[in-house]
Amino acid sequence: MPPAEFQRLGRETSDWIADYLASVRTFPVFPSLKPGSIRDALPAEAPDFGDSMDEILADFRSVVVPGLNHWNHPAFYGYFSVTASGPGILGEMLTAALNVNAMVWRSSPVATELEDVTTDWLRALLGLPQPFEGVINDTASSSTLYALAAARGVAYPEVQEDGLFGLPRGRVYASEQAHSSVEKAVMAMGFGRRGYRTVPTNSRFEMDVDALSETIRRDVDEGVRPVAVVATLGTTSTASIDPVGEVAAVAREHGAWLHVDAAYGGPAAMLPELRSRFAGWGEADSVVVNPHKWLFTPIDCSVLFCRRPDELVRAFSLVPEYLSSSEAASARSLMDYGVSLGRRFRSLKLWFVLRYFGRQGLVARIRHHIELARELASWIEAEPGWSVLAPVELAAVAFRYTSEAGGSHTDELNHAILERVNASGAAFITHTSLNGQTVLRVAVGNIKTTREDVEQLWTLLREVAESVEAEGAGAASTGS
Ligand SMILES: Cc1ncc(COP(=O)(O)O)c(C=O)c1O
């Protein structure tokens, strides 16, 4: 692409991005589309001769944009609501332009060293102690897999040479509210699904530590090796916070690795008023925090902090001759900390975000999200026919419409409310299941979400519930 063409299109594209971010709330959050319609609108094969960028960008506007579920919309409340902030987007644009590969120091000195600096800044912001060393992965799923692989190496020192064959069964423990990525990691590590045990939670959906202790003790009596315990600080369904200090004591007693999944909740540790809820997480062997969830950084960016980085390196280091270099003794080789060899320069966008907002700016925005979530929960609690099903610790609210008339159709009614809210294009929410019941979830996490947005969501929810119930749509959706 000739430089002049790049300059013209680059300006046009950055103008488009700026307009998009400024006007994102004018789009329907969720598109009105049927699966397959986007595929059908596109040619089945790549062009023989290149298309012009003007044609390509025209298709971007006419095909791609209408197919978006707008995660950057202030009324996107699904999953964990996130934000690609201005500084994060600019960092990502520059990362794409530089296109460096941070495999080893030599392949990109600055990507290696900025990852050292940025993750150490984040460690200090979160109040994690010095021995923790951070590396950036794509997702928490990868970070957790890598942490558990390090734990496996500690529990079975022979595993690097011999594999797990013939060795006593090992097990990883997490609460029944833990994210599925933990069980997936256990499966991928060769422990099988029987190598994973969930522990019940209390009425606040926090891990029952006595049950954890009892479960591990029984397993040990049967010859099972406790490999790791995973505590979650900010669970996916309700954002509940496991009592990590007590979990740490049990893990220590049994010599098990403690991994903390703070993929979502971690940034809240920056708030002085919430720091006590994280007490004890500094005793973990590893902690994952995702800046791409609640730290205004575009996906993907997941920081794995490890107190025993040598164990991570032992699990993953394998250096082919062409990647060996004299600097390996004095600088980290980031390829040694996980499966990926090629690594994006992800620290650049995180560095931009941390510098642009500063600690105070990040704290103020996270605190605002929590206040909005708590306010929404207070409105729901006060409304007859509605109930909040879990304490609002962070910025997620789990609730349910429980009208008398719903009776045995209450789950269907809530599913129907969800579908109708999302089809309206005015907001996007998701659901979960708690104690066997369908529950609606609102996560506040977008930087542009205001109190007015949340008020509009609450009005919409009540209107939709009323109309769904009046039409008997909940019951109808089950065919009954
Ligand atoms: C608590 C928790 N842990 C881990 C994950 C997985 O995150 P990722 O998509 O980065 O793998 C999620 C996803 O929402 C989550 O809620």
Render pLDDT for 397-452 as a digit per residue (tens, 0 to 9).
999 998 766 567 899 999 999 999 999 999 999 999 999 999 999 999 999 999 99
Common-topology check for domains 1-31+68-85+358-480 and 101-345: no
State the pLDDT confidence band at 475, using cuts at 50, 70 and 90.
low
State the closest ligand 1 atom to the C-alpha of 139, by its place in the atom list counted from 1.
Answer: 10
How does pLDDT run across 308-353, given as a tens digit for each residue?
999 999 999 988 898 888 998 899 999 999 999 999 999 999 999 9
Instruction: Report the pLDDT value the prediction gives residue 404, as an integer from 0 to 100.
Output: 67
Ligand 1 centre and the CA of 237: distance in Å? 11
Residue nearest to atom 7 of ligand 1 (CA): 140
Ligand 1 centre and the CA of 448: distance in Å? 22
* pLDDT surpassing 60 at residue 292: yes
Whether the Cβ atoms of residue 9 and residue 57 lie closer than 8 Å to each other: yes
Instruction: Report the pLDDT value the prediction gives residue 480, as an integer from 0 to 100.
Output: 34
Q: Helices (H), strands (E): how many in the chain?
A: 16, 11
* pLDDT surpassing 70 at residue 1: yes
Q: Which residues line ligand 1 (CB under 6 A)?
A: 79-80, 139-141, 179, 181, 232, 234-236, 261, 263-264, 290, 302
Closest by CA to 178, choosing from 161, 196, 165, is 196
CA distance 476 to 480: 6
Ligand 1 centre and the CA of 289: distance in Å? 9
> Average pLDDT, stretch 277-281?
97
Other C-beta atoms lying within 10 Å of the C-beta of residue 158: 11
**Which 8-state DSSP code applies to residue 110?**
H
Outline where DSSP puts E strands in 2-89: none
Other C-beta atoms lying within 10 Å of the C-beta of residue 459: 12
Instruction: Report the pLDDT value the prediction gives residue 471, as an integer from 0 to 100.
Output: 86
Q: What is the dihedral of CA 360, 364, 365, 366, to 10 degrees?
A: 100
Domain boundaries, the chain: 1-31+68-85+358-480, 101-345
State the pLDDT confidence band at 215, using cuts at 50, 70 and 90.
very high
Ligand 1 centre and the CA of 174: distance in Å? 14
Outline where DSSP puts E strands in 357-476: 386-388, 396-401, 430-434, 437-443
* pLDDT surpassing 90 at residue 303: yes
Mention every residue, 6+ apart, whose C-beta is less than 8 A from residue 40.
none
State the pLDDT confidence band at 248, using cuts at 50, 70 and 90.
very high
Torsion over CA: 247, 294, 395, 385 (sign):
negative
Who wins on pLDDT, 223 or 475?
Answer: 223
How buried is residue 406: exposed, middle or buried, by Cβ count under 10 Å (0-12/13-18/19+)? buried
Look at residue 25 and give its three-state secondary structure. helix
Give the chain's end-to-end CA distance (angstroms, integer).
60
State the pLDDT confidence band at 479, using cuts at 50, 70 and 90.
very low
Ligand 1 centre and the CA of 184: distance in Å? 12
Strand partners, 289: 303
State the fold for domain 1-31+68-85+358-480.
Aspartate Aminotransferase, domain 1 (3.90.1150)
Ligand 1 centre and the CA of 178: distance in Å? 10
> Average pLDDT, stretch 60-66?
96
State the pLDDT confidence band at 478, using cuts at 50, 70 and 90.
very low
Instruction: Report the pLDDT value the prediction gives residue 72, as an integer from 0 to 100.
Output: 96
Preceding peptide of 120 cis, ω within 30°: no
Instruction: Report the pLDDT value the prediction gives residue 97, as an integer from 0 to 100.
Output: 97
State the closest ligand 1 atom to the C-alpha of 261, by its place in the atom list counted from 1.
Answer: 3
How does pLDDT run across 365-402, given as a tens digit for each residue?
999 999 999 999 999 999 999 999 999 999 999 999 98
> Average pLDDT, stretch 181-210?
96
The correct answer on CATH 3.40.640.10 for the domain covering 101-345 is yes
Whether the Cβ atoms of residue 385 and residue 403 lie closer than 8 Å to each other: yes
Mean pLDDT of the chain: 95
Residue nearest to atom 5 of ligand 1 (CA): 140
